[in-house]
Amino acid sequence: MNIDVVTALAASVPLDWIILGTITVLFTLDGLRSGPGRAGAVALALPGAVLLHTLFPSAFFLENFMPALAAPLMNALVFLVFFVALYMLIRQMDRSYADEGGQAIQALLCAFAAVAVFTVIWLQVPALSALWQFGDDVVAIFGGGFAFWWLIGSLAILGFLRRN
């Protein structure tokens, strides 16, 4: 086998797809080990965190803190805090997934759905672009008019897998 071909192929893959593929593999392995609960909680917590992050600047008593949170990195940190809090709350609400194992196809579908929600939400929150900006190909696939369909489809997949 010619190692130069493999090296050239690996060098031509954009880093965005390597990151998304790595996250997909991690969710798949976690889904095989413990079921689709974590992927479902991530997929539900991300849109909720976007809503809270959008409403946060106009929250009563908190408008005084907004100048301190104007920096993009601090704004991204606020989003991360909302996401982690919602993730933990959602996991507490549905403990039925706690010790279930997953099947291979179920784990893979949950991983793809969670990564699709993750990517759509990342593209929709401007504060997160301070941490990483996805390339044009990822934006074309997961952004714009397709974002709605990715979210609806991913949540439908997770809802269907929850029933089975």
User: What's the pTM?
Assistant: 0.68
Residue 99 predicted with pLDDT over 60: no
For residues 94 and 84, what is the distance between their CA atoms, to the nearest angstrom? Answer: 16
Confidence label for 153 from pLDDT (cuts 50, 70 and 90): confident
Answer whether 103's CB lies under 8 Å from 52's CB.
no
Mean pLDDT of 32-41: 80
Answer whether 92's CB lies under 8 Å from 44's CB.
no
Q: What angle do CA 110, 115, 116 make, to 5 degrees?
A: 100
